[in-house]
Amino acid sequence: MALCRVIHLTLHKILKYGAIIHCTAEFVGHITVCHGSSMEPTIKGGDVVIVEKISINFQNIERGDVVLCRSPVDPRTLVMKRVTLIEGDVLDKTSTSPFLAKVPTGHVWLEGDNTEQSKDSNDYGPVPYGLLQGKVLLKVFPINRFGLLKDKCLD
């Protein structure tokens, strides 16, 4: 009888804290490990960053923000890119992009900092806000690269 009560209390705590962790990760933010080279030197493969989701929910995205986004090409993949244009902005006339001259309402233009290694809006066009998953705020690992992601390059 006492063992059943202990198991019940343990399961209750696991479920309660699991729900708190899930809701925090889903609606507030989470930690993620980065892969790939498209955002170098700002973010390198293996860097650990904190992604917040509140800004995305209120569509509070600005030029220069680094965002986590569901890939428009492969929805099973998440990509990390910099917002270079927001809705209503006009593409640079020297751009070689085959896409619209103006970023449509409800969309952003995403590019990797490492243009040579980045598959981005220059390849797939404007990205709807609905695909944005969060804004990258802080690099936490490695420690020598710890800092806010404000500038184009933190090195």
Cite the active site residues: 38, 81
d(CA 140, CA 14): 27
d(Cα 62, Cα 40) in Å, to the nearest integer? 20
The phi and psi torsions of 116 (rounded to 5 degrees) equal -70, -30
Residue in the block written with tokens 């998953």? 133
How many angstroms separate the CA atoms of 36 and 46, rounded? 8
Q: Which of 71, 33, 70, 38 is nearest to 51 (CA)?
A: 33
Residue with tokens 């009888």, as numbered in its chain: 1
127 with 99: CB under 8 angstroms? no
